[in-house]
Amino acid sequence: MYEIYWTFAARRHEAFERRVAGEPGPWTSDPILNTYKFCNVFRAADRVSQYMIRSVAYADDAGSYADRVFQIVAFRTFSNIATWEGVRAVLGGAPRLEDLTSGRFEQALDRVKASNGGLYTGAFILCANKAYGFDEKHRNHVALFKHMFGGGRLHEAVRGANSLEGIVRTLEGFPLMGPFMAYQTAVDLNYSDLLGFSEDDYTQAGPGALRGLRKAFHSLGDYTSSDAIQWMVEQQDAEFERLGLAFRGLFGRRLHAIDCQGLFCELDKYCREAVPELASNRSRIKARFTASSQKIELFFPPKWRLDLPSGSTVPPTICTAVAPQIALELDAGRSREALEPDRRYSKRGPRRERARGSDSDVTRPPMLL
């Protein structure tokens, strides 16, 4: 399972690169990747994150520092492009704090909800209690925003923060902001030019990543889940080379903690099909892959200084063909001793859970990669 983590990363990112290069689909011979929907290896390359970076964090009409913090926090709360586009249409531009205090932002949300039938994405599990006394979730979130940017002075805390973790802790201090949502929001703020912390300064494993960690490792020893994710960041070059996997990164950018965290979540999903006999409280992948017909013009934080070819896009493509299923024995030709030279925990890292082949006590079909 530990090796599948790296194999998945290489294959999923290769599919992204081939699509950006304009190649016709399918972009991988991996039957699971061709059938089911998986996030990009780099969080910033996902469609919603791409929209957030270009049209929220670096919007031309963003306004003041405080307005920009509000916009990023509010967008991540809903994580829904249609909701944001609808609010912008009603207000005539990006929402400002004056729209929040005057009630115009809430009225815009009401109109969008009536038109679209909902406001939220299913990407995150949000606290849904009536923290501010309202029956409707979005009214509680509007009250949260008023709390954050009124007496909470969140924008001042962000401006004065000395670490990424400090921002996470500040966000966690507000109602309806769980640890993982606080972390995701802090990463979005850090994409903007409002902040400049390293994404490797802090990480927080979400529920899916915790499931993936349990599949990849026998034990974390005295490592925390965050330690293990940081360890993966440190090991990436050596592991891609050891496994003979071509991985060029995101136009020269290496995996960071937020990406390695997300990969554990995707590993959990992938293994539901690749290794279904693994114990898990989730047994299937809900979303099937359909190639988007919408063009995405790639845009990443300018401060990253990526070697991005001019005019790079994810072109609108309808994938009609599906590659044949490929079955591989992950450990073909290798003994268990070669696979697992030392199963004891050491400070070099957590104990890895690797796939076993025909020498296992359990008879299983060939591993699907």
- What's the number of CA atoms in the CB half-sphere (13 Å) around residue 216? 31
Q: Which residues pair with 219 in a beta bridge?
A: 351
**Is residue 364 predicted with pLDDT exceeding 60?**
no
Tokens encoding 225: 């889940």
25 or 292, greater pLDDT? 25
The reply to whether omega before 366 is within 30° of 0 (cis) is: no
Q: How far apart are CA 130 and CA 139, in angstroms?
A: 9
| CB 206, CB 269: distance < 8 Å | no
**Prediction pTM value:** 0.84
**Is residue 244 predicted with pLDDT exceeding 60?**
yes
Model confidence pLDDT, tens digit, residues 194-241: 999 999 999 999 999 999 999 999 999 999 999 999 999 999 999 999
358 or 10, greater pLDDT? 10
Q: How far apart are CA 217 and CA 235, in angstroms?
A: 15
Rounded mean pLDDT, 154-177: 96
Give the pLDDT confidence score for residue 257 in this predicted structure.
98
Nearest to 210 by CA among 311, 291, 280: 280
127, burial (CB in 10 Å: exposed 0-12, middle 13-18, buried 19+): middle
Q: What is the mean pLDDT of the chain?
A: 85
What torsion, rounded to 10 degrees, do the Cα atoms 238, 239, 245, 246 define? -40
Q: How far apart are CA 320 and CA 342, in angstroms?
A: 45
Rounded mean pLDDT, 250-258: 97
Give the pLDDT confidence score for residue 339 in this predicted structure.
31
Nearest to 329 by CA among 15, 9, 4, 2: 4
Rounded mean pLDDT, 300-314: 86
Q: How far apart are CA 349 and CA 354, in angstroms?
A: 14
- In the three-class reduction of DSSP (H, G, I as helix; E, B as strand; rest coil), residue 367 is classed as strand
Give the pLDDT confidence score for residue 303 in this predicted structure.
96
Residue 121: pLDDT band (50, 70, 90) is: confident
Which residues in 240-256 are b (16+ Cβ under 10 Å) and which e?
beeeebebebbbebebb
**Is residue 164 predicted with pLDDT exceeding 90?**
yes
E strand or H helix at 138:
helix 137-149
Model confidence pLDDT, tens digit, residues 315-345: 665 444 444 443 334 443 333 333 333 333 3
**Backbone phi, psi, residue 287, to 5°:** -95, 130
